[in-house]
Amino acid sequence: METLRLNDTTIKNLSEGEYRDSQCHFLYVRIGKIKRTWYFLRTIDSKTRRVNLGTFPDTNTVDARQTALKTAGMRSLHPRKSLTLSEAYNFYLQNRKPKSAKKLGSVFKYLEPFRNRKISAIKKEDIQQLYSSIIVDKGHTGNRVLSLIKVIISYGIQHGKIESDVNGIHLIRKAYKEQPRNNFLSLAEVKTLMTYLDEKLILKTPTVLDRQHRVICLIIKTLILTGQRKMNVLQMEQSELDIDAGIWVIPAAKNKTQKEVVCHLAPELTPWLKKFMDENESGQYIFVNPKTGRPFTEIRKTWSRIQKELKFTATIHDLRRTCASLHVHHGASIKQIADTLGDSSLDMVSRVYAKTEASILRENTNKLSKLIYD
């Protein structure tokens, strides 16, 4: 079911089907061949309530929205206590992983002034002022804070804990435009990193910690040479590999784009993958944490230590961009790189392509200058 910002004009132009109002989450309209019918629908504590609110245009959008709000307020003889922002935040965190909750906590601290205030008492102007003050120095953080309070309120509305965003906080627009990352390692940095990884892979590893580090080194090597997403590599299964053919098939169900990706493996990578398969002959996954016996879920700590040791800065996802940039250096087209990386959107590939092409052109210009003046 599609969610739209409904108004009288859009209602007239909608095709047959059912639509939800983005401004009032329990207001719906059913577009039939003859009639356009408004209805209230809300589920609270596993109980669904549906109320017919009239037909359009006899009942216009504004009236339908007001009636839906009134209906929501009449749903119980014992209305619940209005939640504070802190209570709504804790409710939102209930189904979040501990690591995710920790990250959100560093964002929520900016909302401390409103912590004990009722959601209904938090004014749009107050949040707008807070957001504007944060983005002066921390634009990215300001956007995270605004997104967090919006999602807290939206989640509470959807689960029947909050009446509605009566003060219009959801209407605040992000004023800080974030720039997409274009960072990737240089060829020299990649060579240094690969030398380091290969040295760690061939070392004898008697302790659990050493064996753990060895597995992570092969994970990083795989990330660079395949350009695949981190979670796909971490959850690589033996059944997905055809070592003899040098192919790794990532099922559509595991891929972000919901499309199957056929990844051709580098000859420098396949012997190591085969070795790990042999070491874990009866296992399902390739990269198993020796400490837990399960696939890794995160490798950031080890990656941070490697960066400090080799003195460069990059995120795990930058390794995907690095792979794309290396393909550009060897003449691959944007479409070929997108297919290799399994990226349905060409945006990231195009940005890397443009940046890498610029560095190649600069390098060629410098060579030409040396040819003339040397």
DSSP string, 26-53: TEEEEE-SS-EEEEEEEEETTEEEEEEE
Q: Degrees (nearest 5) of the Cα angle 98, 254, 231?
A: 45
Cα–Cα distance, 99 to 303 (Å, whole number): 18
Instruction: Check residues 372 and 304 and name the one with the higher pLDDT.
Output: 304
Q: Please count the other Cβ atoms lying within 10 Å of the Cβ belonging to residue 36.
A: 19
Q: Please count the other Cβ atoms lying within 10 Å of the Cβ belonging to residue 334.
A: 16
Instruction: Check residues 52 and 372 and name the one with the higher pLDDT.
Output: 52
Instruction: Check residues 235 and 343 and name the one with the higher pLDDT.
Output: 235
Q: Which CATH superfamily is domain 2-73 in?
A: Integrase, DNA-binding domain (3.30.160.390)
Angle between the 139-158 and 85-93 helix axes, to the nearest 10 degrees?
A: 80
What distances in angstroms separate CA 14 from CA 38, 56, 127, one per listed residue? 14, 12, 34
Q: How confident is the model at residue 76 (pLDDT cuts 50, 70, 90)?
A: very low
- Both tokens of 339, joined, read 């297919």
Per-residue pLDDT at 201: 85
Mean pLDDT of 347-363: 59
Q: Which residues contact 186 (CB under 8 A, 6 or more apart)?
A: none
Q: Which residues contact 264 (CB under 8 A, 6 or more apart)?
A: 246, 247, 340
Q: Please count the other Cβ atoms lying within 10 Å of the Cβ belonging to residue 10.
A: 13
Are 150 and 169 within 8 A, CB to CB? Answer: yes
- pLDDT (tens digit per residue) in 94-117: 877 666 777 888 899 999 999 999
- pLDDT (tens digit per residue) in 208-265: 677 888 899 999 999 999 989 999 999 999 999 999 989 999 998 888 778 888 888 9
Mean pLDDT of 304-317: 91
Among 39-48, 239-248, 293-302, 359-368, the least confident range: 359-368
Q: Which residues contact 105 (CB under 8 A, 6 or more apart)?
A: none
Q: How confident is the model at residue 70 (pLDDT cuts 50, 70, 90)?
A: confident
SS3 83: coil
| Burial degree of 324 (CB within 10 A; 0-12, 13-18, 19+) | buried
Q: Is pLDDT of 35 > 50?
A: yes
| Burial degree of 236 (CB within 10 A; 0-12, 13-18, 19+) | buried
Are 22 and 3 within 8 A, CB to CB? Answer: yes
Q: Is pLDDT of 25 > 60?
A: yes
Q: Is pLDDT of 277 > 80?
A: yes
Per-residue pLDDT at 74: 45
Among 153-167, 271-285, 299-313, the least confident range: 153-167
Q: Is pLDDT of 56 > 80?
A: yes
What distances in angstroms separate CA 85 from CA 15, 260, 350, one per listed residue? 39, 42, 42
Mean pLDDT of 345-363: 59
Class of domain 187-368: mainly alpha
Q: What percent of the chain has pLDDT over 70?
A: 84
Are 123 and 114 within 8 A, CB to CB? Answer: no
Mean pLDDT of 269-296: 86
Tell me the domain boundaries of the chain: 2-73, 85-171, 187-368
**CA-closest candidate to residue 306, choices 200, 205, 222, 230:** 200
Q: How confident is the model at residue 31 (pLDDT cuts 50, 70, 90)?
A: very high
Per-residue pLDDT at 182: 61
Mean pLDDT of 70-82: 55
Mean pLDDT of 42-57: 81
CATH of domain 85-171: 1.10.150
